[in-house]
Structure 1
Amino acid sequence: MIRSTKKKTKKTGRRHPMATVALVAIGLIVTGAAYAGFSNSSAIAEVDLQAQSTIDEGQKLFASNCATCHGIQADGTDEGPSLIGVGAASTHFQVGTGRMPLAFQGPQGMVKPKQFTEEQTLQLAAYVASLAPGPGIPEAQYLDGDGDVANGGELFRVNCAMCHNVAGAGGALTEGKWAPKLSGVASVHIYEAMATGPQNMPVFNNANISSDEKRDIISYLKYLENSTSVGGFKLGSLGPVAEGLFIWIIGLGAVVALTVWVTAKSN
């Protein structure tokens, strides 16, 4: 009798050696993301901008990161303006959007990855606010996006659309400057921009646009951000320029190509 030399493979039920590594990696990613989100939300809730310890920490951060341009007393130098009286809102906006510290001198500050955590940003804001009165960080009730969208749209078209575009898509200004797009911008930073007038933007204080009206504008922008385009492709929401360019390049190009194809077939 000839015995088979093949060995039967037994199913041991063991996982692949890389399965454990993959599970650990997934666990670390999930834990890290949860911790980051918790840390940011906790920092906003727990940092007391009036506490002397917060102001002292902010002063240390300022001295080591900002004083070179703004002066050790924040009274300005040839490289940077005075920060006396700009308030916590201006600091939170500029640092929280990554515009400050500047990457390089130019027509205006570039949005880039943030250098400081939310807690450190609030500490810096607390220090600058302690130097002189100025616009404060807005309360959460004005940032929920549940305001009057119709009123917000009207206010935006009257006060903001000439620079930021009616759809908040941004636009070019003079001397190499530009109005940034507003989609994806945090509600708190939109409010702070209106209250402080960064870069080339005018200041819209409560005498011009009230806190409730700022809430309405934020609600309108968030509505635009979350709604779908019923008319098809948005083409960047840049208006007739983009639409005309599309017609000339795509539409006219298709007509020319069709004409060449028909002529070639007839020949």
Structure 2
Amino acid sequence: MTENPEGTAQNPPPEQPVGRSRAARPHGKLRRRIAGALAIGLGLLSVGFLYAAFAPQPQVANAQPDTALIAKGEELYNNTCITCHGANLQGEQDRGPSLIGVGDAAVYFQVSSGRMPMARQEAQAVRKHPLPIFDPETQEGRANLEALGAFVQANGGGPVTPAQSGEALQGDDPGRGGVLYRLNCASCHNFTGVGGALSSGKFAPALAPASEEQIYTAMLTGPQNMPRFSDQQLTPEEKKDIIAYIEQVNEENNPGGNELLGLGPTAEGVFIFTVVMAGLVGFAIWLGAKS
């Protein structure tokens, strides 16, 4: 006990356990850090379990290959395609390209349009009547096309033929399809779809004979010099609108007068230029004779 200047007694302050508090602080921080890490880990695990339980599964994971269909396609491939494209779709030099990555869509376009198998090596495969076993107008032909495409798809992957067919592949907005066609297709296929010549003996074919499925699969696979249009470049709806425009043009390609081979503004301009120039030359000759 001490005595202050006023004479009153004052008890000394109690001693603080300095050493014990300082030693306890690091352990408290460590426990808080461990608890926080455990909480974050449990939260991440909970989110992962919830996502796995409720997230939609991709179609590829659910799709089961039809082994019987693939086996039938392999038989057809060995009978009609293996000589040029190889036993493993790897292709053969100076005979045929690899089929790895071309997909079921390319098989449908090339075989249903008669371009494959080719009769001989040319700059470009030309359209002809398909083999009877692959004629898309018959039930047997459609089944064989599906089987052959399934075999190539199972072993090489690539774009697939759309599930819809016929008029179901025609969009609701041919006006928008016309704009997209002029931006992406008219430079090769002409404004009215009659086709045109390209370099190195190749050409853009006329679109009138092609079915909706063939036009759609051609856009997906890009045969010959044609570029591929993925769903990021042209959405499925935009592809369908283009098909609707092409079908509309095929039906109304000759609204009246001389169609001039259906070549559109180019042919009309050349015709007018030729007529005008011939008239001017004739007028000049007449003036000279009169003089």
TM-score by length of 2: 0.66
Question: Residue 126 of structure 2 corresponds to which residue in structure 1?
Answer: 110
Q: In structure 1, what residue type is equivalent to 2:185?
A: C
Instruction: Verify: 1:70 aligned to 2:94, yes or no.
Output: no
Query: Once structures 1 and 2 are overlaid, which stretch shifts more, 168-177 or 132-141?
Result: 132-141
Instruction: Verify: 1:185 aligned to 2:201, yes or no.
Output: no
Mapping of residues 8-27 of structure 1, within 5 Å: none
Question: Residue 125 of structure 1 corresponds to which residue in structure 2?
Answer: 149
Question: Residue 148 of structure 1 corresponds to which residue in structure 2?
Answer: 173
Q: When the two structures are aligned, how many residues end up with a matched partner?
A: 209
Cα 1:111–1:228 change in 2 (3 A) is closer
Determine which of 57, 61, 67 is the counterpart of 2:72.
Answer: 57
Determine which of 65, 88, 102 is the counterpart of 2:104.
Answer: 88
Cα 1:62–1:204 change in 2 (3 A) is same
How much has 1:166 moved relative to structure 2?
1.2
User: What do you get for the CA RMSD once the two structures are aligned?
Assistant: 2.6
Q: Which runs of 5+ in 2 are unaligned?
A: 1-62, 135-140, 283-291
Q: In structure 1, what residue type is equivalent to 2:150?
A: A
The 8 Å contact of residues 192 and 253 in structure 2, kept in 1 or not, is answered as no
How much has 1:144 moved relative to structure 2?
3.6
Determine which of 126, 131, 136 is the counterpart of 2:160.
Answer: 136
Bigger CA radius of gyration: 2
Cα 1:99–1:139 change in 2 (3 A) is same
Question: Residue 18 of structure 1 corresponds to which residue in structure 2?
Answer: none
The 8 Å contact of residues 163 and 179 in structure 1, kept in 2 or not, is answered as yes
Aligned equivalents of 1:143, 1:105: Cα separation in 2? 36
How much has 1:245 moved relative to structure 2?
6.1
Q: In structure 2, what residue type is equivalent to 1:64?
A: N
Q: In structure 2, what residue type is equivalent to 1:108?
A: Q
Aligned equivalents of 2:168, 2:221: Cα separation in 1? 16
Q: In structure 2, what residue type is equivalent to 1:134?
A: G
Q: Percent identity?
A: 42
Determine which of 215, 239, 245 is the counterpart of 1:214.
Answer: 239
The 8 Å contact of residues 56 and 127 in structure 1, kept in 2 or not, is answered as yes
The 8 Å contact of residues 167 and 224 in structure 1, kept in 2 or not, is answered as yes
Cα 1:101–1:238 change in 2 (3 A) is same
Cα 1:245–1:208 change in 2 (3 A) is closer
How much has 1:204 moved relative to structure 2?
0.3
Question: Residue 172 of structure 1 corresponds to which residue in structure 2?
Answer: 197
Aligned equivalents of 1:177, 1:229: Cα separation in 2? 27
Q: In structure 1, what residue type is equivalent to 2:146?
A: L
The 8 Å contact of residues 49 and 122 in structure 1, kept in 2 or not, is answered as no
Aligned equivalents of 2:164, 2:257: Cα separation in 1? 35
How much has 1:185 moved relative to structure 2?
1.1
Q: Secondary structure at the match of 1:74?
A: coil
Q: Secondary structure at the match of 1:140?
A: coil
